[in-house]
A and B are shown apart, each in its own frame.
Chain A
Amino acid sequence: MNIATLIPTPDAIPVHWGWLRFFQIVTFFIHLLFMNIVLGSSLIALLEVCGNHRGKGTGVRDFERDIFQKLPFVIAFAVNAGVAPLLFLQVLYGNLIYPSSILMGVYWLSVIGVLIVAYYSAYLMKYKFDALGRFSHFLIGLIPLLFLYIAFVFVNNMTLMQRPSAWIAYFTNAGGTLLNLRDPILWPRFVHFVTASVAVAGLFMAAVRSTGKPTGEAGAAGHVDRGMRYYILATGTQMIVGVWFLVKLPTPVRGLIMGGDPYFAGLLLVGICGGLGGIYLALKRRVWPTIWLTLVVTAAMVLLRDLIRAAYLQPYHEMKVIPVQPQYGPMIVFIVSLISGAAVIGYMLRLAFRSKEERMDPAP
């Protein structure tokens, strides 16, 4: 069977594909940050509990509480920020992501239910952290497990969509229970993302405690220290995982990264150097420079990821051949609403921070 036969004809797009790709990359970058914080911080909470049980941790309870105080907010933004890139992904790659989603439909759809459970669990931890007693340990174990599952499903889909040769399995199993387990890059990619999430979440924990109140609050310095330690360990591990990932990539794609294409190679170089630089800065406990550097590395990795996907799909799908039926008006409306929305958000945040400072009497 000619595999190309299985790839649906793409629908027409309303603007040049470059715009959609730009929006997709930018919004994915934002989503990735929130998502990493969600997954990484829930994993860190679990690691902390495990460490505490072995008698190594002190003040861990505060650190965990701190994590779960923020987790529901971050989940909300992670979900919201995930909608936009998935939307633009469907516009650019709908003819690939839909078939792969259907092949693994059971797992793909289960993400919604799992996320609802994880989200409510996070709220439970936020509001009832102390009242839950030992049940909180169960949730601390459950929540990262659920997020790991979601990450695993996403990694499966994102790799399956760029591997149409694996789609043929549909003809022996149309029940939506296929996974991309035979893809050599599945596990390294998954571990790569999970490791990155721990690093980003560690950095987030440190950043939160180093903003405006590091000295005044009990244990703040310890929290920063703990966060940076996770960052260092995860980023160090990433160097090994990254090599594993690189090795498992198909030869033509790896060739591009290893110097075959300057963009690929350059982005990887940024990633490696940024990682090493980040470790150095983190060892010095320079939180914000580490953050800025990590943002650069993350952006480079997002771009590299996008290029790798394009390279994977090169025989089957090229964005420049997607038909265009130009209508730019709706995009302008979107941009205007985005700018206006940002302004209103700024205004609302200003009101919120001002009230925090003023601590108004709540009497009506």
Chain B
Amino acid sequence: MNSIWLIHYPVWDLGALGGGFLIALMATVHVYVSHFAVGGGLFLVLTERKAVRENSWALLAYVHRHSRFFLLLTMVFGALTGVGIWFTISLLNPTATSKLIHIFVFAFATEWVFFLCEIISLFIYYYTFDSMERGRHMRIGWLYALFAFLSLFIINGIIAFMLTPGKWLVTQNFWHGFFNPTFWPALFFRTFMALMLAGIFGLVTAVFTREEALQEILMRYCAKWVLFPFLLLMVAAYGYIAVLPEPQTAVIFDRSPEIRPFLTLFAAIGALLFIVGCLMMARPFSIRRKRIIAFGLLIAGFFFMGSFEWIREAGRRPYILYGVTYSNSVSAQDMEKVAQQGILASTRWTQRRTIGKDNQMAVGRDLFRLMCSGCHSIGGPLQDIKALTRTLPVAGMAAMLDGMGKVNDYMPPFPGTEEEKQALAIYIVEELNQVIDRETPVIAPAQRPFEQPLFHDATDGYVLLAWSDQGMQLLSDADCFFSLTSPGLDIHAQLVRRGEAPEIVSDGVDMTYRIEAGFETPARQVDYWRFAKTLVGKEVAPNMGAAGKSVTDRMEFMEENLSFIARKVPVVPYTSADEFQPYPLIAVEARDRSSGNLLAATKFTAAVSTEMGCRHCHGGPWRVQQTAGISDPTARDILTVHDRINRTDLAVRAGDGAPRSCRECHPSREDDPGKPEGINLSAAIHGFHANYMTGRGADACVLCHPASSEGFTRGFRGIHHTLGLDCTNCHARMEDHAIGLLVTELNAAKKGASRLMKNLTPKMTDDMNKIAARKPWVNEPDCLNCHQEFQPPDVDQVELNQWTKSEEQLFRRRTDEVGLRCPACHGITHAVYPAENIFGHNRDTVQPVQYQGEAYPIGANRNCKTCHTVDMTEEIHHPNMLGMFRNTQ
């Protein structure tokens, strides 16, 4: 149908009774009684036959009494709740109901004929019980059982179709839909379930039989009806699972967290029914106990049946008719078009077609009703949207909507525009949850003056260059919940002896470093050391890094790096006064080993920030100063989400005082101890979150990383920031970044990579296959992609697959022609000279200012004398060395 209208029906606003409560109520009671109606028919006639064969008046009288109970329960309550289901589904999901009715109208009509035959045969059976010749009467009983089974036969075909439409999706052929993949196992399963329920209901009437001997006989007789069908039911259940297609199996047994409790319930009650059935066969009970058992089994049977139906219904997610209609009533074939047009433009039953500030909340309410209320109540017993989203701020809710139907593929995609997502998010967060999510205004950081190290051109014989290996380390400080990274920066230093032919020296030199005052006791500021045993598998001495270095210590010369290095220096961005300060200075001194004389001294910033924006989506406040840190509620929500999606128990472990390191399952670097079969951390985190942040630019990056120009850390502070570049210029957009990482994991056949990838759309190319695999920390932005041959760039955007080929090509590892490392002269990534740090003008440019009196790279503007003591005419370090600095400030 070529129409812009793709969402057709009004939605009944049920509030707390939404979320399928009505259908759950109606369906569970009906299904219980209707299966009894099927199995009970056979129970009646077979028990009657038993009575005739055994010539037992008492047993026959019991059958007569039971048939009256059967008539009153199935004919009235069973029949009318069946009609009730029909009424209810047409009210709750008319789109799917209409589809079903139109496809299966004559199946329903045929079932109606069988229903009529059931009514008449049951009336005759009951009302002629004492008057009809026994053989004829049993014939009527057999006919009732047959028609009841035929009713099940028909309805089973339709219900099974809803879960597994099979070939119908291609052929639209009625018979393919009816005899679908789960038709036969479902029919057997339901038949055995019906027989089992007949035994349970038989027991309920049996315990009111006055004759004790008969009661005993009936107890054992009914127990057989419970036990033997139960065993066959288990076989049928196995067959049922075996024929389920992969997506449905994945949703039932893996994806949907809501199904798990029902699987457990189903298994537990199954075991209970079996045990009680055996007990009833084995020994007699007092009348009181018999009654308790009978009614206990009646209740247990209800939950047994109910949990199965719940699992089956939920197994259809995200559809209500698998592959045909989503649970939000959008037709599968229309979903993409709705996503293009937007929900409001596709919906017949709305009066609001545009979104403005004045109607945002009202539109959100409409959208909730249209898209969410089919599965979610507002404050009700089923799938309460308030409880499920209470931790989410608006950004998190919007991201959740963005990611729907992707990683969590048991929910349908939300086909709204960005404005519609925002409106719905605001409605849920601000009106339903009453959370007014106002970002706390960022406090402007106080300038932190420091003593600039001096350099005397005439007398100083050495130039000391030092840096950390990351220009913007992101540190998680929720160590009592999880740890993304252990505190620890690698710091480097190169000592250059000045002269016309300067040289990098190491022999006879002692290189030490000392952290800025106030940062000496990181173990008091973060909990990493407290939980190191469970986080990294060993105790770590307080204030020491994982490689045995303290915040004030010696550095060792590494020949292969031509530099002094101290690994994993435990720098945290908190002072002993609990102040958040992401740029502590590290002072480095080089001394003559034999004399102890100071050869050179300098400082650099060790940029470490805990301004990790998890709270933007996971809710909760900042941990410190309303500025940084992962607070307990935020961390808890992260683990809850992880547990829900990945069936882990991280929140419980954390609650038990045994938090885990993310790298345990997601090893990030080659040397990470962890399970090699897990997706690496970078691929997992970027891959997962990319599904929730589609179509964004650098705003997606700075939601988590402390690089926002409106944040506190403002970690992106070098010349590239000054020139107006953002994260995506070098790292590409979120989707491309994530896909490259995931391709590596996919090639390594790691579980979950395809799940994270399947809904990502690359931005740099139309063809996903063109994105090459890349490893984190190895295949990174390469400066020489833009600065080809060290020349001014013609482009300022990374192109497809332009990453460093190996670690040796990384900016922080690479050297010039004489062995000087790139960061030694240019500063570190994200803060390449000249860099502007909001905590102090020269905080990131201590060394160029110290040695050259200006913030440009060492040697820039032909400052060759800094090391060479004379002007130079040859570009011995790298090409373009003698060009004047272009972007002067």
Q: Could you tell me which residues of chain B, from 111 to 129, have a CB within 8 Å of some CB in chain A?
A: 112-117, 119-121, 123-124, 127-129
A159-B121 Cα distance, complex, nearest whole Å: 36
Residues of A within 8 A of B94 (CB): 8, 94, 98-99, 101-102
A72-B127 Cα distance, complex, nearest whole Å: 13
Residues of B within 8 A of A334 (CB): 106, 109-110, 113
Residues of A within 8 A of B119 (CB): 76-77, 80
Question: How many of B's residues come within 8 Å of A, CB to CB?
Answer: 78
Residues of A within 8 A of B99 (CB): 11
A15-B3 Cα distance, complex, nearest whole Å: 24
B52 at the interface (CB under 8 A from A): yes
B97 at the interface (CB under 8 A from A): yes
Residues of A within 8 A of B79 (CB): 76, 79-80
Closest chain B CB from A221 CB (angstroms): 26
Residue with the greatest number of chain A CB neighbours at <10 A, chosen from B75, B113, B115? B113
Q: A94-B98, A102-B12, A109-B87 known; A341 and B116 CB under 8 Å?
A: yes
A90-B101 Cα distance, complex, nearest whole Å: 7
Residues of A within 8 A of B134 (CB): 364
B369 at the interface (CB under 8 A from A): yes
Residues of A within 8 A of B139 (CB): 351
Residue with the greatest number of chain B CB neighbours at <10 A, chosen from A109, A333, A345, A352? A352
Residues of A within 8 A of B109 (CB): 23, 84, 87-88, 334
Residues of A within 8 A of B72 (CB): 120, 123
A152-B643 Cα distance, complex, nearest whole Å: 52
B108 at the interface (CB under 8 A from A): yes
Q: A94-B102, A98-B97, A345-B117 known; A362 and B76 CB under 8 Å?
A: no
A341-B119 Cα distance, complex, nearest whole Å: 12
A90-B119 Cα distance, complex, nearest whole Å: 24
Residues of B within 8 A of A116 (CB): 76-77, 80-81
Q: A91-B101, A123-B76, A351-B136 known; A111 and B12 CB under 8 Å?
A: no
Residues of B within 8 A of A20 (CB): 105
Residues of A within 8 A of B132 (CB): 351-352, 355, 360
B10 near A99 with CB under 8 A, answer yes
Q: A76-B75, A98-B9, A175-B13 known; A356 and B98 CB under 8 Å?
A: no
Residues of A within 8 A of B76 (CB): 116, 119-120, 123
B120 near A345 with CB under 8 A, answer yes
A112 at the interface (CB under 8 A from B): yes
Q: A9-B8, A102-B12, A116-B77 known; A109 and B84 CB under 8 Å?
A: yes
The answer, among B12, B107, B127, for a CB contact under 8 Å with A105, is: B12
B87 near A349 with CB under 8 A, answer no
Residues of A within 8 A of B22 (CB): 109
Residues of A within 8 A of B110 (CB): 330, 333-334, 337-338
Q: Could you tell me which residues of chain A, from 333 to 364, have a CB within 8 Å of some CB in chain B?
A: 333-334, 337-338, 341, 344-345, 348-349, 351-352, 354-356, 358-360, 362-364
B77 to chain A: closest residue by CB: A116
Closest chain A CB from B791 CB (angstroms): 62
A112 near B351 with CB under 8 A, answer no
B120 near A351 with CB under 8 A, answer no
B646 at the interface (CB under 8 A from A): no
B90 near A90 with CB under 8 A, answer yes
Give the interface SS of chain A, mostly helix, strand, loop or mixed: helix
A82-B107 Cα distance, complex, nearest whole Å: 16
B143 near A355 with CB under 8 A, answer no
* Interface contacts beyond A175-B13, A352-B140: sample of 19 additional A-B pairs, CB < 8 Å, sorted by A: A11-B102, A13-B102, A14-B103, A73-B123, A76-B119, A80-B112, A84-B109, A94-B94, A95-B98, A98-B98, A99-B349, A101-B87, A102-B11, A120-B72, A174-B12, A174-B369, A176-B12, A329-B175, A352-B128
B interface, CB within 8 angstroms of A: 1, 3, 5, 8-14, 22, 26, 51-52, 55-57, 60, 72, 75-77, 79-81, 83-84, 86-88, 90-91, 94, 97-99, 101-110, 112-117, 119-121, 123-124, 127-134, 136-137, 139-140, 143, 172-175, 348-349, 351, 369
Q: Which 7 A-B pairs have the closest CB atoms?
A: A8-B8, A330-B106, A98-B94, A355-B132, A112-B84, A362-B130, A174-B13
- A-B CB contact pairs (8 Å), 17 listed: A6-B348, A13-B102, A79-B80, A80-B79, A80-B119, A98-B9, A98-B94, A102-B10, A116-B77, A116-B80, A123-B72, A329-B174, A329-B175, A330-B174, A344-B117, A364-B51, A364-B57
A interface, CB within 8 angstroms of B: 1, 5-9, 11-14, 20, 23, 73, 76-77, 79-80, 83-84, 86-88, 90-91, 94-95, 97-99, 101-103, 105, 108-109, 111-112, 115-116, 119-120, 123, 167, 170-171, 174-176, 323, 325, 327, 329-331, 333-334, 337-338, 341, 344-345, 348-349, 351-352, 354-356, 358-360, 362-364
